[in-house]
Homo-oligomer: A and B are copies of this chain.
Amino acid sequence: MRIARYIPILEWGRHYTRGALGNDMMAAVIVTIMLIPQSLAYALLAGLPPEAGLYASIVPIMLYAVFGTSRALAVGPVAVVSLMTAAAVGQVAAQGTAGYAIAALTLAVMSGAMLLAMGLFRLGFLANFLSHPVIAGFITASGILIATSQISHILGISGGGHTLPEMLEGLVTHITQTNPITLALGAGATVFLFWVRKGLKPALRQFGVSPRTADIIQKAGPVAAVVVTTVLVWGFDLAGQGVAIVGAVPQSLPPLTMPDFSLDLLRALLLPAILISVIGFVESISVAQTLAAKKRQRIDPDQELIGLGFANIGAGFTGGYPVTGGFARSVVNFDAGAETPAAGAFTAVGLAIAALALTPLVFFLPKATLAATIIVAVLSLVDLSILRRTWAYSRTDFAAVAATIALTLGVGVEIGVTAGVILSIALHLYKTSRPHIAEVGLVPGTQHFRNIHRHAVETDPAILTIRIDESLYFANARFLEDHILNRVVQDCPIKHVILMCSAVNEIDMSALETLEALNERLRDMGITLHLSEVKGPVTDRLKRSHFLEQLTGQVFLAQYDAWRSLSAGKTMAAR
């Protein structure tokens, strides 16, 4: 029973029905057709031979089917992780060498081991420190980088570079070498694929095609582009005229491969592996949760880590590279009616057949067509509206997203996302280190206390009531102390300071010591310090220290009690 908790297939597999089998197989056929060109394309984006993309889609999907909890998630190579793989592996080996492919295997195993460890030690919460704006900014910037990196394939020139300025410089340098036939094929495929995405379905509906059939035809669009351009290259011998083609792809099931675990390589790939794990997990879990919620199912994030961990380890030992749950393919899988992870296993079988039997057919497939597939896919990731939305909602979130986008484009994917994470944490800490502090007074005729600068309230010159709208901890304790002492020094008649703690969820040791010091310093000035509306758990904790005994004043349950007991009765109108 304990082991079964970690192997969800033992649960859903026992109740597997013939009806589910039919639905899963139908979904698998559709997803397989979609994945063949996509897998080849993402492998090229990662700087690997095209078959690596197929291999990365076979064993990982099967392992995820055993260990994953999502009913609809489709695991395999995705655009952003392929880009990150290219950036990471490009730093330790040259593209096209055996070392490059082996480093990609190592990266997959490292990333898998980290995901597995995070799952077993229940560290999935670490991914929460990647804030939404940072992820959104990172994915948008990655989409721009990926699309730009593919332009050279469309033009048929040599490209390269890991940042936007480098890529643009490469394009400008080589643009005179543009191959017009490649450009025609690539641009044609791009326009066609955009039309398939936007205009095909309405057109088919006009011809009376049913929505479901229109949907399936639309999904076959990339395959049509692949078939047509391949036939054109083969029929007119365009490869002889300089059109870059995929060429020979081995006919084989995924091979057994051995990553390189030398210490130097592990060290060089450590940070990229962490980032790929976390970003892959965040992408995957949000897709899985979105789809699960539609059927009122639940995802177990820690078990998802285990599933993705095994999938990546599997990828590393079978000629693949880092994988994760992809958005587009999972949605297709879900829409096509997949009911259980078995749909993924059937997809794997389909792709295995493709790897064994169909690879000779892609010999004449132009790389420009794959580039077009990638461009059309990733431009849907680019959403610069996040800048406008964060600007309107919160300047600190805007700063984090702007920095992430600028650094990802200008310096690199790893620096970009790391800086985004650090900046968003730093800005959060900065905000909580200068919390909102209000001086409050009594709203006449009620028992409510409100900000004296916003409401007409009663105050007493001898009483200063301060409401602090944040938990008290080391970063803001001194701020509160400074605020109160400055206020008291300016204003001589004050005899009582009341700290209204209704929004204080915690008081840590630093804040406790600050309150002790404040108590003493106010006592030296002849002022008593009181607390009001302290929450239960906070009170429990304060009782473990000597603070409440040393407090010169009292602890009042309600602010109104404090007011009634301390006010001299003669109240004055608000400022």
Q: Which residues of A contact B (CB under 8 A)?
A: 125, 128-133, 289-290, 293-294, 296-298, 301, 389-390, 392-394, 396-397, 424-425, 428-436, 469-471, 473-479, 482, 485-486, 489, 502-503, 505-506, 508-510, 512-514, 517, 520-521, 524-525, 535, 537, 541, 544-545
Q: Whole-angstrom distance from the CB of A559 to the nearest CB of chain B? A: 14
8 closest A-B pairs by beta carbon, nearest first, are A131-B474, A293-B521, A132-B510, A397-B509, A131-B510, A469-B505, A132-B513, A128-B475
The residues of B that contact A432 with a CB separation of less than 8 Å are: 471
The residues of B that contact A294 with a CB separation of less than 8 Å are: 524
Q: Whole-angstrom distance from the CB of A419 to the nearest CB of chain B? A: 15
The residues of B that contact A289 with a CB separation of less than 8 Å are: 521
Q: Whole-angstrom distance from the CB of A172 to the nearest CB of chain B? A: 34
The residues of B that contact A128 with a CB separation of less than 8 Å are: 433, 474-479
Least CB separation from A398: chain B residue = B509
Do A298 and B486 contact each other (CB < 8 Å), given the known contacts A509-B397, A535-B469? yes
Do A544 and B392 contact each other (CB < 8 Å), given the known contacts A296-B524, A485-B293? yes
- Distance A133 CA – B508 CA, assembled complex (angstroms): 10
A-B contact pairs, 27 of them (CB 8 A): A125-B479, A128-B474, A128-B476, A129-B429, A129-B433, A129-B475, A131-B474, A131-B508, A132-B510, A132-B513, A132-B514, A133-B510, A289-B521, A290-B521, A293-B525, A296-B489, A296-B525, A298-B489, A392-B544, A392-B545, A393-B512, A393-B545, A394-B508, A396-B508, A428-B475, A436-B537, A469-B535
Q: Whole-angstrom distance from the CB of A453 to the nearest CB of chain B? A: 12
Question: Contact between B431 and A506 (Cβ–Cβ < 8 Å)?
Answer: yes
Given B393, B429, B482, B486, which contacts A509 in the complex, CB threshold below 8 Å? B393
- Distance A131 CA – B512 CA, assembled complex (angstroms): 11
Question: Contact between A509 and B394 (Cβ–Cβ < 8 Å)?
Answer: yes
Given B133, B297, B429, B508, which contacts A397 in the complex, CB threshold below 8 Å? B508
Q: Whole-angstrom distance from the CB of A296 to the nearest CB of chain B? A: 5
Least CB separation from A486: chain B residue = B298
Question: Contact between B390 and A509 (Cβ–Cβ < 8 Å)?
Answer: yes
Question: Contact between A125 and B508 (Cβ–Cβ < 8 Å)?
Answer: no
For this chain, the copies found in one complex come to: 2
Q: Whole-angstrom distance from the CB of A402 to the nearest CB of chain B? A: 13
Given B397, B508, B535, which contacts A428 in the complex, CB threshold below 8 Å? B508
Q: Which of A132, A477, A512, A541 has the most chain B CB atoms closer than 10 A to its own CB?
A: A132
Least CB separation from A511: chain B residue = B132
- Distance A517 CA – B286 CA, assembled complex (angstroms): 10
Question: Contact between A505 and B436 (Cβ–Cβ < 8 Å)?
Answer: yes
- Distance A275 CA – B521 CA, assembled complex (angstroms): 28
Question: Contact between B301 and A482 (Cβ–Cβ < 8 Å)?
Answer: yes
Q: Whole-angstrom distance from the CB of A443 to the nearest CB of chain B? A: 14
- Distance A547 CA – B270 CA, assembled complex (angstroms): 39
Q: Whole-angstrom distance from the CB of A258 to the nearest CB of chain B? A: 36
Question: Contact between A424 and B474 (Cβ–Cβ < 8 Å)?
Answer: yes
Q: Whole-angstrom distance from the CB of A516 to the nearest CB of chain B? A: 10
- Distance A502 CA – B301 CA, assembled complex (angstroms): 29
Question: Contact between A505 and B470 (Cβ–Cβ < 8 Å)?
Answer: yes
The residues of B that contact A473 with a CB separation of less than 8 Å are: 131, 428
Q: Whole-angstrom distance from the CB of A436 to the nearest CB of chain B? A: 7
The residues of B that contact A469 with a CB separation of less than 8 Å are: 505, 535
Question: Contact between A125 and B434 (Cβ–Cβ < 8 Å)?
Answer: yes
Do A131 and B525 contact each other (CB < 8 Å), given the known contacts A125-B434, A537-B436, A541-B393? no
